[in-house]
Amino acid sequence: MTEILETYCSTCAREVSACEETRAEHLKVRDAWVDVDQVVLTCPECGGRIGDERVESANLRRAYEAYREGQGLLSASQIRDAYDSYGLSQASFGKLLGLGGATLSRYENGGVQTRQIDQAIRAASDPHAMLDLLAEKGAEIPAAQRGRAEQRAREKLARGRESRFEYAVVRGDFSLVLNPADASELTGFRAFDVDRAREMAVFFASRCKHFFKLRFFKTMFYADFTAFAETSRSMSGLRYAHAPNGPIVHGHEALLAALVDGESLDVEEHEIGETSAEKIVALRDADLGVFSERERIILQKTADFVNSFRKSSELSERSHDEPGWRGTENGQLISYEYAFDLTTTDCINGECSLRSSQCK
């Protein structure tokens, strides 16, 4: 059925009752062609096409939505759902992602996001990543929203432990969640390498006793910082931050989400008293071919060092002696320059005569 819309025809220079018709059109949007239904207004007097702002704006939104679908990008409603599900406002979600509220508004009203931003929004939709973002930037948003988002993220985790591997972590040289693209003293002059990080985790999970999350993060820290002190580059390109229980991987939940895929690594829930803890389990042997001979030696000696601690809490306490932790504040990133002052270097290199738990 043809609809009638009262509008202005510039050719006839007067108001007309235009006929509204839907046509399938083949349009070029950015660098791709899309097939999309477009509404066309035809003047009943001159027969020309009328460019009504209301109709053309809706046509543009449909064309962009078709483009997003074809490119595998989030739709406007999916972007809105990403923060609505956590009880966050558009502005607060933008702050957590390092974007302006106007940027998100533009995407929700027809603009097309870049693939990088699309991946960042997908990542933030995962409760593990949301908790990381709130821990890092939660102080920048209203306390009520921060508390609500934390509660909803934990509720999502409790409902079924969503697959850690499903949310978007950019492959290749960097991760939007874990690291920027550039290498610096905060990454040990290596851009984040997810394959190296995975093989490190698989190696340690198969070699280290009681490999719970806390021990995992400390082990990665000591391996990366020892490698930097010995070779002038970290092994993984991960960043580390000051946390109350010692140095920790910056974006640690994002790292687990990237690595625990059910093929190389898995997580087992263990009840410890009245609480539960997650143990990292290797499902295959590590591929050490990605590491140099010196790095392989450091991996083994780091595992030996970590195994000398009976409890993860003892290893955590030991890490409090590290200058990199003592010289930073809670949440602050730890420069790899502190690697040259590691108190454990001799222990890991096998030159210390004391047990590591005594070597303080």
For residue 279, which phi and psi values (nearest 5 degrees)?
A: -105, 135
Judge whether 194 and 169 are in contact, CB under 8 Å: yes
pLDDT at 173: 32
What is d(CA 234, CA 69) in angstroms, rounded to the nearest whole number? 39
Laid out side by side, the sheet with 49-50 consists of: 3-9, 14-29, 32-42, 49-50
Q: What is the pLDDT of the chain when averaged over all its residues?
A: 83
pLDDT digits (tens, 9 = 90+) for 205-253: 999 999 998 899 999 999 999 999 999 999 999 999 998 899 998 877 7
* Helix, strand, or coil (residue 281): strand
pLDDT at 288: 95
What is d(CA 76, CA 87) in angstroms, rounded to the nearest whole number? 17
What is d(CA 202, CA 299) in angstroms, rounded to the nearest whole number? 11
What six digits make up the tokens of 228?
């930097």
Greatest CA separation for the chain:
98
Judge whether 231 and 295 are in contact, CB under 8 Å: yes
pTM over 0.85: no
- HSE (side-chain half, CA atoms, 13 Å) at 245: 13
Count the Cβ atoms, other than its own, within 10 Å of residue 224.
30
| Cα torsion angle, 337, 343, 346, 347, sign | negative
What six digits make up the tokens of 76?
């406007």
pLDDT at 156: 82
What is d(CA 124, CA 82) in angstroms, rounded to the nearest whole number? 7
Question: Domains in the chain, ordered, with CATH?
Answer: 3-71 (3.10.20), 76-160 (no CATH), 194-348 (no CATH)
Give percent of the chain with pLDDT exceeding 70. Answer: 85
pLDDT at 2: 62
pLDDT tens track, the chain, 360 positions: 467 888 888 888 889 998 888 889 888 876 778 888 988 888 999 988 888 778 887 887 788 888 888 888 898 889 999 999 999 999 999 999 887 667 788 787 767 888 878 888 888 888 888 988 898 888 999 999 999 999 998 888 776 444 443 433 333 333 444 554 467 899 999 988 888 999 999 999 999 999 998 899 999 999 999 999 999 999 999 999 998 899 998 877 777 777 877 789 888 877 776 666 788 999 999 999 999 999 999 999 999 999 999 988 899 999 999 999 999 988 888 999 999 999 875 555 555 432 333 343
